[in-house]
Structures are given as C-alpha cells and as structure tokens.
Amino acid sequence: MKKMTAAALVASALVSFSAAQAEELTIATVNNGHMIEMQKLSSAYEAETGNTLNWVTLEEGVLRQRVTTDIATKGGAFDVMTIGMYEAPIWGSLGWLEALDFGADYDVEDILPAMRGGLSEGGNLYAAPFYGESSMVMYRKDLVEAAGMSIRDMDSWGNVAKVAEAITGDGVYGVCLRGKPGWGDNMAFITTVVNSFGGAWFDADGNPSLDTPEWHAAINFYVDLLTSYGPPGSSGNSFNEILALFREGKCGMWIDATIAASFLEGDGSKVTGKVGYAQSPNATNPVGANWLWAWALAVPAGTQKADAAKGFIEWATSKSYIELVADANGWGAVPTGTRQSTYDNANFQAAAAFADAELSAILSAAPGATDVKPYTGVQFAAIPEFQEIGSEVGQLMSAALAGSMSIEDALAEAQAAAEAIMGN
C-alpha cells in the first residue's frame, strides 16, 4: 500500500516536467543523511523522466572547494550543485547561477521567508532549499530539573552558565560547544554568541570590527564557559564529535544546529525523551542569537542542460518530495526547515518533538542587514573575503580556547588578519 502511494506521488510530481528529452545530470551533493536519502529515492525520478543522475557525494569542505573551483573557472563539471546560504547570494550576484522560477504547483511562497531571503539576491531566487536549519539549546531536562533549575527560551547567558555549573559532574560535562577551527565550525557558533553580545564582523563602514568590547566580552564568556564546564579537547570538537558525546549521555547542554534533535531522539541514543529544547540564549541583542543555514540546490549558469537540471531541483525541493520521504521513512525523517506546509502537517508535528522549537528558531533568525551589522548572513558575512577571514579567525579562536594564546592577543591578531585580507 505504502509503495503504491509513493509511486502515485512521484508520478503526480513528475507530470509537469517529464516532457523534456532524456538527459544525464551530474549532481554534486554534501554527504548528509537527507542527501543520501534523496539519492536512494531518486530512482523513481529517473524511471519517470528517463534522465540519468550521476551523484558526486563529498564531505562539506571538499564539496565547497570542488564546486567553487569548478564554477569560478566555468568548468562545467556539474549540472546541479549543492551549495550553502553563504554561496547563493554571492554567486548569484556574480551571474554564476541560473535564476530559479518554478510553476504555480511549486508554491514558492510556502518556502519559509528567512530561507527565501537568504538564498536570493536582487529579487531572484538562486538556489532552492533542500533542508534548512537554525540553532537552539538542547539540554538534559532530567539533569536540569534534578538540580532544581530551568532553561527558558532566550535565556540569559548568566543562567546558562549557572545551569552548566550545576549539572557538571558524575561523568557529565555541563556544556558542549564547538571549538574546532573553521568558519563553518567554531565560528558559526561563536558568531551567534558575539551577535547576542551586540558585536558583528564588520562595522557600518564595512571595516572589520573584531577587537571591540563586544567581541572581548563574548569570547571571554565562551572560553570561560567551555573551559570550566566543557569536555576535554573542545578545540577539536564540532557537530559530530559533540553529537557522539551527547548521545552517550556525556553532555548536559549543547547549543547547535536544530538538525541534531532528530539524532538525539533517534535509534541507539541513550538520551531519547530526556532532552529539552529552548531558543538560543542572548546577552543584549536578541537578533542573530540563532543561526540560519540551508543546503540548497542550484544550477550553474551556462550548463547545456539547464531545463533538466531545474526540473530535477523542482522535484527534489517540492512538497511532494517531502511526502515521498514521509511515505518511505515516516514523517520523523523528512527534510525540515524549508516549507511552512511541513510544519503545518499534523503528522509531522506528532512525529517531531522539536518541530515548534525548530520553526520558531528559523523564523526568528534574521539574515538581512541591520544597523548593527551591515551585511547579509547571521553566522557569516556574505562577502567573498569572508571565508578567508573566517578560517583565520577560527584558528585564532581555537588557540584562545586551547589556552595557547591569550584572548586579547587572539582578537588583536584576528583584527589584524581581517584588515590585511580586506586590504588585499
């Protein structure tokens, strides 16, 4: 029965774009669970359209270097690229991507506004979100309650530190946070802390502003919190390392991507049902305390197969694809963070305990420029120089965390590095 519905859904989703002739599409993707699942389900798409799909599955960093090199040199190796929210606006404004414009069935208005905004440039949508995420607090309800404490939405950092102190001990580390160098690793989290302390990467004139009181306060707090109540070796931890710790019951609290919730509640986890969720804490500035990210599909400009490529993207990011996954694997396994209709679905609400927390985190994330920060992006700045700056600063912050450098020196050097890169 299930299979039949799935087939019917695929068929209906495909009617509109099965007219084009059979093509061979090469698709670069990131090796996340949702993407791997898409590869399996896409055989239905292939059967229906006659198109052949060649997958290139790579780890995030390798994918980024591969697709960037290819598109910048007009290599034409890929017909569909998986890119992030950082790339979409920059590449779009450089004219490297085809603008995406789908039919009424696609219901582009259904895509969450924050996602649409972050993937657009100059009014054109350049990449369609496959799944999206924000960040939130995940904490061990049982331990926090046993300590007679609580964590509220948008709590104060002070309270977070107190809770971390109270639940540390007995083989549990009070708080686990990212520390591994990289603009998508430690800097993603650290930037949200800095945002919440009122700091930003650049000032109103577009000059780097890393040696400011806000950055000092934020980094001091982060380093102090993590060295006091965090696990050993935090400067090597990113999402996966912490996930392994939290699932084994070794972390009391974790602020990271909302996608983590599905793993914490999933098979084999020792903390299923014991995890509470709350909106990210902030110190003074509620805007930008939780990040916003999407893995999205885009078509490089100039590909011969633009129509087929767009057709595939329309299929993969459609409502019916989400239903297809739900039919195959259940509503708890659908790619989230992209469409309002997913969150409106009663089945999804029932299957995903973290649905509300995730949706409000995404809705409250503000990627647009404000008077505090003159650039697009929450945990990054959507300018070409940012990757270079972010990876330098990421290394310096990991040195500060590991204690091999003082925070003052690290920030001074970060500022100098950023200025040098901007001055190039």
State how far the Cα of 387 lies from the Cα of 384, in Å rounded to an integer.
7
Q: Which residues contact 135 (CB under 8 A, 6 or more apart)?
A: 188, 189, 192, 255, 256, 257, 258, 280, 290, 291, 361
Assess 233 for contact with other proteins (CB under 8 A): yes
Q: Which is nearer to other proteins, 198 or 300 (CB)?
A: 300
Minimal distance in Å, beta carbon 270 to other proteins?
8
Q: Left, alpha or beta for 298 (phi > 0: left; psi -120 to 50: alpha)?
A: beta
Q: Which is nearer to other proteins, 157 or 173 (CB)?
A: 173
In total, the chain counts a number of residues equal to 424
Assess 227 for contact with other proteins (CB under 8 A): no
Minimal distance in Å, beta carbon 373 to other proteins?
20
Assess 302 for contact with other proteins (CB under 8 A): no
Q: Which of the residues 343 through 402 are near other proteins (CB under 8 A)? A: 384, 387-388, 391, 394-396, 398-399, 401-402
Give the residue, chosen from 5, 57, 227, 340, that forms a contact with other proteins under the rule CB under 8 A.
Answer: 57
Minimal distance in Å, beta carbon 267 to other proteins?
8
Q: Which is nearer to other proteins, 128 or 259 (CB)?
A: 259
Token pair of 59 as six digits: 């780890």
Assess 140 for contact with other proteins (CB under 8 A): no
Which region, judged by CB under 8 A, interacts with other proteins, from 3-11, 261-269, 297-305, 317-325? 261-269
Give the residue, chosen from 250, 347, 349, 360, that forms a contact with other proteins under the rule CB under 8 A.
Answer: 250
Assess 60 for contact with other proteins (CB under 8 A): yes
CB distance 379 to 293 below 8 Å: yes
Q: Which is nearer to other proteins, 102 or 263 (CB)?
A: 263
Q: Which is nearer to other proteins, 45 or 157 (CB)?
A: 45
* DSSP 8-state code for residue 170: T
Give the residue, chosen from 8, 22, 39, 103, that forms a contact with other proteins under the rule CB under 8 A.
Answer: 39
DSSP letters, 40-86, are HHHHHHHHHH--EEEEEEE-HHHHHHHHHHHHHTT----SEEEEETT
Q: Which is nearer to other proteins, 193 or 389 (CB)?
A: 389
| 90-106 b/e (C-beta count within 10 Å ≥ 16 → b) | bbbeeebbbbbebeeeb
Q: Which of the residues 182 through 211 are near other proteins (CB under 8 A)? A: 182-183, 185
DSSP, collapsed to helix, strand or coil, labels residue 401 as helix
The number of residues that bind other proteins (CB under 8 A) is 79
Assess 224 for contact with other proteins (CB under 8 A): no
Assess 72 for contact with other proteins (CB under 8 A): yes
Which region, judged by CB under 8 A, interacts with other proteins, from 8-16, 59-67, 342-350, 354-362? 59-67
| 306-332 b/e (C-beta count within 10 Å ≥ 16 → b) | ebbbbbbbbbbbbbbbbbbbbbbeebb
Minimal distance in Å, beta carbon 3 to other proteins?
18
Q: Which of the residues 7 through 36 are near other proteins (CB under 8 A)? A: 26, 28, 30-33, 36
C-alpha closest to that of 140 among 161, 167, 165, 162: 167
State how far the Cα of 226 lies from the Cα of 372, in Å rounded to an integer.
27
Assess 48 for contact with other proteins (CB under 8 A): no
In one-letter notation, the amino acid at residue 200 is A
C-alpha closest to that of 396 among 232, 241, 178, 181: 181
Instruction: Determine which helix (DSSP H) or strand (DSSP E) holds 400, and give its type and residue range.
Output: helix 386-402
Assess 180 for contact with other proteins (CB under 8 A): yes
CB atoms < 10 A from the CB of 198, how many?
19
Minimal distance in Å, beta carbon 47 to other proteins?
15
Give the residue, chosen from 77, 333, 363, 422, that forms a contact with other proteins under the rule CB under 8 A.
Answer: 77
Assess 148 for contact with other proteins (CB under 8 A): no
DSSP letters, 206-222, are S-B--SSHHHHHHHHHH
Assess 404 for contact with other proteins (CB under 8 A): yes
